[in-house]
Amino acid sequence: MRRREFITLLGGAVAGWPLPTRAQQTDRQRRIGVLMAHTENDPEFKDYLDAFRQGLQKLGWIEGRSIQIDTRWGALENADMRQRSAKELVALRPDIILTQNTPPTASMLQETRTIPVILLRTRRERPSSHRATEKGDEFTPPHRSLRG
């Protein structure tokens, strides 16, 4: 997935939120939880997150003013860390959660069915209809909505 496609995909996820205006500046900050499968020092995935921030900024969403982005990294290989990170993000009560890769999405869906979860697939990943099996949960393949 190219950077421009990434910005378009993720920017569309929050495009339905009203653009901040002067009258809305006192409204509560929107919160986005992000559970990344790879480590924070992976330059490709750091670039994806930076592109997401830039796309939001182009839509009028400014980090620290109208939105807050809480990110957890390295949720692919270590199931315990992944589940702990999912619990932490849900406890922050974000308006939306962005996940990257199937295992982090499965962990997030074990923790919440009320917060919208968006699965991001990147070019490094193969298309899959993998089903989460850690607790017997199943979810629809990535090409469909993951909302419970």
* 96 Cβ contact list (under 8 Å, min separation 6): 13, 14, 32, 33, 115, 116, 117, 118
User: For the chain, what is the domain count?
Assistant: 1
Q: Which of 120, 69, 115, 68 is nearest to 90 (CA)?
A: 115
> 0.85 cut: is pTM over it?
no
Domain CATH number, residue 112: 3.40.50.2300
Has residue 126 been placed in a domain? yes
Has residue 21 been placed in a domain? no
**Which range marks the domain in which residue 50 is found?**
1-7+29-148
Label residue 12 by pLDDT band (50, 70, 90): low
pLDDT tens digits along 16-73: 555 544 334 447 899 999 998 888 888 888 888 898 899 999 999 999 999 999 999 9
Q: Is the pLDDT of residue 142 over 70?
A: no
Compute the half-sphere exposure of residue 141: CA atoms within 13 Å on the CB side of its CA: 6
Has residue 17 been placed in a domain? no
